[in-house]
Amino acid sequence: MRYLIPALYLLTLIFLACRENEPVAEPKPVAVIHENTNAATKNDTLWLTEKCAVQFIHDTLQLERMKQQMGDDFYTVADDANFYSAEASAFLDSVKIPVRYIKNTKYLAFETNYKMAQIVKTDTLTLFNLFLFDPKNVSPMLADITNIREEYDHFINTDR
């Protein structure tokens, strides 16, 4: 049961990546974390205020862009991402951190107890990223799912 969501995620990735009837947009410049909260509007932003891990589920256009950039390697990368995502989910469940799977939003806004927010543009995230967030810290941590145990240890032992 624990691996059901990551398995469904991989199947969705493969299904959506195989579709060829949608136009592919040009890649946009990459800028992951924006300090300025004016970068997002209320309607396209999901505000997060509680301690959690956040994994973004990419939409069809983002997957097509990745497929175009990676070529035939996309399927290998997607398979690896699914494996590490399942491992990360299992580990985060074991340490009792709720995992939020987010989709269909342009920006993620992490609001801290200090009334500060960091805005993340979701189309700049890779398949191997997730955020660890605690509102007591100054900012969320962009973690690599291939190394989640060490990333989590760093997250709980560091005030950012």
Residue in 105, 128, 134 with CA at minimum distance from that of residue 45: 105
| Max Cα-Cα span within the chain | 47
In contact, 17 and 75? CB cutoff 8 Å = yes
**For the chain, what are the domain ranges?**
4-22+31-156
- Distance CA(71)–CA(65), nearest Å, equals 10
Q: What is the pLDDT of residues 99-109, one digit of tens each?
A: 999 888 889 99
Distances (CA, A) of 89 to 26, 43, 82, 148, 158: 32, 29, 10, 9, 21
pLDDT value at position 24?
Answer: 40
SS3 117: strand
pLDDT value at position 123?
Answer: 80
pLDDT < 70 regions, the chain: 1-42, 159-160
Both tokens assigned to 136: 């007591």
pLDDT value at position 90?
Answer: 94
Q: Is 85 exposed, middle or buried (0-12, 13-18, 19+ CB in 10 A)?
A: buried
Residue in 55, 54, 58 with CA at minimum distance from that of residue 12: 58
Q: Give the burial string for 29-42 (b: 16+ CB within 10 Å, else e).
A: eeeeebeeeeebee
SS3 53: strand
